[in-house]
Amino acid sequence: MQAIARPLARAAPKHVRYAGSLSIWSAVPAGPPDSILGVTEAFKADKDPRKINLGVGAYRDENGKPYVLNAVKKAEEILVQQNPDKEYLPITGLPEFTKEAAKLAYGADSAPLKNNAIAVTQSISGTGALRIGGAFLGRFYPHSKTIYLPTPSWGNHTPVFRDSGLEVKNYRYFDKKTVGLDFEGLKEDLKNMPEQSIVLLHACAHNPTGVDPTPEQWKEISDIVKEKKLFPFFDMAYQGFASGSTTRDAFAVRHFVSEGHQVALAQSFAKNMGLYGERVGLFSLVTADPEERARVESQLKIVIRPMYSNPPLHGARIAATILSNQDLYGLWESEVKHMAGRIIDMRHRLHDNLVSLNTPGDWKHITRQIGMFSFTGLTTPQTKALAEKAHIYMTADGRISMAGLNTSNIDYFSESVSKAVKGEL
Q: Which residues participate in catalysis according to the annotation?
A: 154, 235, 271
Maximum CA extent, the chain: 106
Tell me whether strands 174-175 and 198-202 are parallel, antiparallel or unpaired: unpaired
Contact 330, 323 (CB under 8 A): no
Integer Cα distance of 333 and 310 in angstroms = 29
- CB–CB of 211/204 below 8 Å? no
Give the DSSP letter of residue 23. P
CA dist., res. 336 & res. 274, Å (int):
10
Phi, psi of 280 (to 5 degrees): -110, 120
The CA distances from residue 263 to 18, 208, 231, 314, 336, in Å, are: 56, 23, 7, 28, 26
In this structure, the number of other CB atoms found within 10 A of the CB of residue 217 comes to 15
Backbone angles phi, psi at 212, to 5 degrees: -120, 150
DSSP element (H, E) containing 14: helix 14-17
> What's the per-residue H, E or C state across 354-373?
HHHCCCCCCCCHHHHCCCCE
Contact 105, 253 (CB under 8 A): yes
Dist. CA 223–CA 287, nearest whole Å: 20
DSSP string across 266-300? EEE-TTTS--GGGTEEEEEEE-SSHHHHHHHHHHH
Pairing of strands 280-286, 264-268: antiparallel
What radius of gyration, in Å, describes the C-alpha atoms of the chain?
A: 25
